Chains A and B, each alone.
Chain A
Amino acid sequence: MSGNSLLINVLSAGQDAVCNRFHAAHAIQAYYKNDVVINHGVESLLVMWPSHLLTQSLIATVKNLVNTPKNSILKTGTNWKLPIYYNRAAADLLEVAQQLGMPVERVITLHKAAVYDVACMGFLPGFPYLSGLPAQLNIARKAIPAIKVAAGAVAIAAAMCGIYPQESPGGWYVLGNCAIPLFDKERARPFLLKTMDSLSFYEIDLVTFKQLTQEAKTLNLNNFKHG
């Protein structure tokens, strides 16, 4: 689809913005079906449409849909529980504890107690920007990005959490490693997560982590859903 695009900034900030944005995206997609492509940002939406739709009327319609009262119950995505291994001796985890002035154990407790929303996807194919990081864990990005962050690394920075789907350079602090591949081309569901999913982490030990990693290609993803 070649054509036009429109960026919409959802005006309120924080969790309200996430909720408003999910509602707005639902309303726009329901109205236009497959005619438009919607991309999510943390507090904004991108709507792309083919050139056969008239720009002026589309903008007016989209604005109306965004401002429609949010009284419907929103159908959200999948609720995941993902296994994470925290290496208590890892340099990034020690650095985070030191900068935030709390013991490593406290960092881990806070991190795994939280429930995260996939606010949007970006950076790399399959990389989720997770909102819901406890305020106590807010830390600035590294001044100098690491050259190599491992696939599966669960990292935090700038009030968000993220999971690296593939090895890559990265400027976030790694707290642990997720044993479920976020992206696998061969899998029936190549991308594990999508915008509007939610997730929490449960801690596993190194032996379990290694075992799951070995079985990564054959894991039943349904075992990592809540409820």
Chain B
Amino acid sequence: MARCTLIDAGFFTSIQDKGRLRARDYGVPHSGAMDLHSAAQANTILGNAANTPVLEMTMIGGTFMFSEPTRIAITGALCEVAHGQEKQLTPCVLHIKTGDVVSMSAAKEGNFMYLAISGGFQAASYLDSASYFPGLVDTASMNKGSFLLYQPVNATRTTISFDTPNFKGSLKAYRGAEFYLLNRQQQEQLLSKSFTVSKNWNRMAFQLVEPIVNDLNPMPSSPVIPGTVQLTPSGKLIVLMRDAQTTGGYPRVLQLTEESINELSQRTVGMAVDFVIG
């Protein structure tokens, strides 16, 4: 088994796959890569199954040393990747030789970066997923000097094209279960106003800056999923993300499409967010 050593772990680095769906009724959050599209793309390009565990890094990429030949793909937020004398921007595929060091910069655009490896990292799994979540899969929290195991492969050079995340544009949403409790004016505000990503964002939720008038009562705890947009008593909108709790007591005014959750995850503080139905 080959080793990928973390010379520098980057920031908030964890192992992620598509997450756990079938334990939600025990109160277990979805989890999984914040930008599932970019994570899946990194795997697909290497010929891995889409659910293969990848490394997710937040805002700052890591520096890695590989003990055996392999291929890796880096996708998601835009950053610079140094590999020997070569420097390039993500997304990219690298052919790794024994002892190679790969160093990633801070994100230039976007939040989350993904590093996939041929055949996948060996990772502990619980409830059908290797995704990090405290108390479920703890071993995935990454520190400087820790290492991940992988099966070496002989790299063959290929040329592949892939897309970069969409950092702009409206987010597509469906009307939420409590959308109809809003009055006409509130509904129009929600769909016409431009909102901004606040500094309160993490794997559980992205909070938006601009409030809308809210006179709705809190409700009994109801199921929520990633992409559910909640309207809090103060009128602030909270978009739930991958590690969100499975139930919530605030009105669910919108539900983002899967694609829009991926797009929102890459919006940085201060960027515009607006919603369209459909």
Q: Specify which chain B residues have a CB less than 8 angstroms from the CB of A127 in the assembled complex.
A: 27
A26 interface hit (Cβ, 8 Å): no
Nearest-CB distance from B50 to chain A (Å)?
A: 10
Q: Indicate if the CB atoms of A44 and B25 lie closer than 8 Å.
A: no
Q: Kindly state the separation between the CA atoms of A121 and B126 in the bound complex, as whole angstroms.
A: 19
The contact of B24 among A9, A37, A45, A185, by CB within 8 Å, is A37
- With CB as the reference atom, state the residue of chain A lying closest to B227: A5
Q: Kindly state the separation between the CA atoms of A45 and B221 in the bound complex, as whole angstroms.
A: 11
Query: Given A7-B222, A41-B223, is A120 in contact with B21 using a C-beta cutoff of 8 Å?
Result: no
Nearest-CB distance from A75 to chain B (Å)?
A: 17
Q: Indicate if the CB atoms of B222 and A41 lie closer than 8 Å.
A: yes
Which label, helix, strand, loop or mixed, suits the secondary structure of the B interface?
loop
A201 interface hit (Cβ, 8 Å): no
Q: Specify which chain A residues have a CB less than 8 angstroms from the CB of B21 in the assembled complex.
A: 1, 37, 48
Q: Specify which chain A residues have a CB less than 8 angstroms from the CB of B223 in the assembled complex.
A: 7, 39-41, 44-46, 120, 122
Q: Kindly state the separation between the CA atoms of A37 and B128 in the bound complex, as whole angstroms.
A: 15
Q: Specify which chain B residues have a CB less than 8 angstroms from the CB of A5 in the assembled complex.
A: 225, 255
B245 interface hit (Cβ, 8 Å): yes
B135 interface hit (Cβ, 8 Å): yes
**Which parts of A100-153 form the interface with B (CB within 8 Å)?**
120-127, 129
Q: Indicate if the CB atoms of A46 and B27 lie closer than 8 Å.
A: no
Q: Indicate if the CB atoms of B225 and A46 lie closer than 8 Å.
A: yes
Q: Indicate if the CB atoms of B221 and A42 lie closer than 8 Å.
A: yes
B278 interface hit (Cβ, 8 Å): no
- With CB as the reference atom, state the residue of chain B lying closest to A39: B223
Q: Indicate if the CB atoms of A121 and B25 lie closer than 8 Å.
A: yes
Q: Indicate if the CB atoms of A122 and B136 lie closer than 8 Å.
A: no
8 tightest A-B CB contacts, nearest first: A122-B247, A41-B222, A46-B223, A42-B220, A121-B27, A7-B177, A39-B223, A125-B28
Can you list 12 pairs linking A and B with CB atoms under 8 Å apart? A1-B22, A9-B177, A37-B24, A39-B223, A41-B223, A122-B245, A123-B245, A125-B136, A129-B221, A183-B135, A185-B135, A191-B26
Q: Indicate if the CB atoms of B220 and A194 lie closer than 8 Å.
A: no
Nearest-CB distance from A140 to chain B (Å)?
A: 11
Nearest-CB distance from A41 to chain B (Å)?
A: 3
B246 interface hit (Cβ, 8 Å): yes
Q: Kindly state the separation between the CA atoms of A122 and B246 in the bound complex, as whole angstroms.
A: 5
Query: Given A40-B25, A41-B223, A194-B25, is A125 in contact with B135 using a C-beta cutoff of 8 Å?
Result: yes
Q: Specify which chain B residues have a CB less than 8 angstroms from the CB of A42 in the assembled complex.
A: 220-222
Q: Specify which chain A residues have a CB less than 8 angstroms from the CB of B255 in the assembled complex.
A: 5
**Which parts of A25-74 form the interface with B (CB within 8 Å)?**
37-46, 48
B252 interface hit (Cβ, 8 Å): yes
The contact of B25 among A38, A124, A185, by CB within 8 Å, is A38
Q: Kindly state the separation between the CA atoms of A45 and B22 in the bound complex, as whole angstroms.
A: 15
Q: Kindly state the separation between the CA atoms of A122 and B225 in the bound complex, as whole angstroms.
A: 12
**Which parts of B212-245 form the interface with A (CB within 8 Å)?**
219-223, 225, 245
Q: Kindly state the separation between the CA atoms of A7 and B176 in the bound complex, as whole angstroms.
A: 8
Q: Kindly state the separation between the CA atoms of A164 and B27 in the bound complex, as whole angstroms.
A: 12
Q: Mark B24-65, 1 if CB is under 8 A from A, else 0.
A: 111111000000000000000000000000000000000000
Q: Mark B122-143, 1 if CB is under 8 A from A, else 0.
A: 0000100000010110000000
